Amino acid sequence: MGSDTVLRNMVTIRPSLALLVLLWASADRHVFAQAELAGSWAARNTEDISRDSYPVDYVGLPLNDEGRTRALSYNESQLAMIERQCEGWPAFYFVQGPFGLKIWNDTDPITGTPISWTIGAWEDRAPMVIWMDGRPHPSRYAEHTRGGFTTGRWEGTTLVAYTTHMKAGFLRKNGPPSSDQAALTSRFFRHGDMLTVLAVIEDPIYLAEPEIVTKSFQLSAAPISPIGPPCVSAFEGRRPGESVPHYAPENNPFVDELTKIFHIPREAVLGGAETLYPEYRKKIKDTYVRPEPCKRDCGAPPLR
């Protein structure tokens, strides 16, 4: 084959070549100024954010009166009801629970542009699919699910996700509620092998101001499963049709438990925006008495 033939063949395919160049440049523009989030991210849990080990412990939550009342009516025996055992937790549990994150993306097979990012599920939390393709959120009357509906965009190297359409659920496992009008804005900041997630939860029904949670994860060589084991409900002593376990809010027997153990004022135990600012620390300075030395659940035994 002569050189003229080679040239002719190349020129014949020039529209395809130009198209490839355009696609390459276009795809690359999307990839730059973003961050790779795919992988397994381990939770180190060196900060206590879920705080659900006591029945009434709402410290750090900006609950309003309605949220506080609902929380005090909660009885954890509700989870023994067969129809509630597998109901799971809302989307924001991914920064409140103790587990790591498995994150991956699905891309357009031609341009390589991410269509969505997904945070894998746990046993008690649905996967979070973050749609990146510009689709709108559904109508406000559309079905609400446990995981909600999430869209995302990039701000530099930060992925910003916005979640709506969650079912009513809980801000913590010990009863502080979230409504079906709650919305979650998540920001994923990657710094090397560190991923910090900022979660801002807005709820016009139960919160006096947005709840803000941050949690950091470390990139892990050990794979984290993208799904949890299936939830299997079983009879745990409460028959279908029996009453829903609850407390009259004014008679919750655990309301003073944290005050007795840790000497934390009841108003702080019950949550409230005022208790989250430094002024509150100064307010209780002269009345707070440090508890006796810790005797149980003081920390994990040192490994070395």
Verify binding: residue 25, other proteins, rule CB under 8 A: yes
Q: Which of 19, 23, 33, 142 binds other proteins (CB under 8 A)?
A: 33
Site stretch for other proteins (CB under 8 A), options 67-75, 100-108, 127-135, 284-292? 284-292
Q: Which residue has the tokens 């008679």?
A: 251
Q: Which of 191, 204, 233, 244 binds other proteins (CB under 8 A)?
A: 191
Nearest to 76, CA basis, from 253, 256, 262, 206: 253
Q: What is the CA 182 to chain-centroid distance, rounded?
A: 13
Residues 247-266 that bind other proteins (CB under 8 A): 262-264
Verify binding: residue 210, other proteins, rule CB under 8 A: yes
Nearer to other proteins, 116 or 275 (CB): 275
Site stretch for other proteins (CB under 8 A), options 22-30, 74-82, 84-92, 230-238? 22-30
Verify binding: residue 10, other proteins, rule CB under 8 A: yes
Residues 75-114 that bind other proteins (CB under 8 A): none
Residues 136-175 that bind other proteins (CB under 8 A): 155-158
Q: Between 53 and 82, how does the x/- string for binding to other proteins read (CB under 8 A)?
A: ------xxxx--------------------
Nearest to 56, CA basis, from 71, 41, 69: 71
Site stretch for other proteins (CB under 8 A), options 75-83, 220-228, 234-242, 282-290? 282-290
Least Å distance, CB 15 to other proteins, is: 10
Least Å distance, CB 243 to other proteins, is: 34
Q: Which of 64, 73, 185, 259 binds other proteins (CB under 8 A)?
A: 185
Q: Which of 109, 251, 260, 292 binds other proteins (CB under 8 A)?
A: 292
Verify binding: residue 284, other proteins, rule CB under 8 A: yes
Residues 229-248 that bind other proteins (CB under 8 A): none
Least Å distance, CB 47 to other proteins, is: 5
Verify binding: residue 194, other proteins, rule CB under 8 A: yes
Verify binding: residue 34, other proteins, rule CB under 8 A: yes
Verify binding: residue 278, other proteins, rule CB under 8 A: yes
Q: Which CB contacts under 8 angstroms, 24+ apart, belong to 116-122?
A: 117/37, 117/152, 117/159, 117/161, 118/226, 119/94, 120/224, 120/225, 120/226, 120/227, 121/226, 121/227, 121/228, 122/93, 122/94, 122/97, 122/228
Verify binding: residue 135, other proteins, rule CB under 8 A: no
Nearer to other proteins, 50 or 78 (CB): 50
Verify binding: residue 16, other proteins, rule CB under 8 A: no
Nearer to other proteins, 102 or 190 (CB): 190
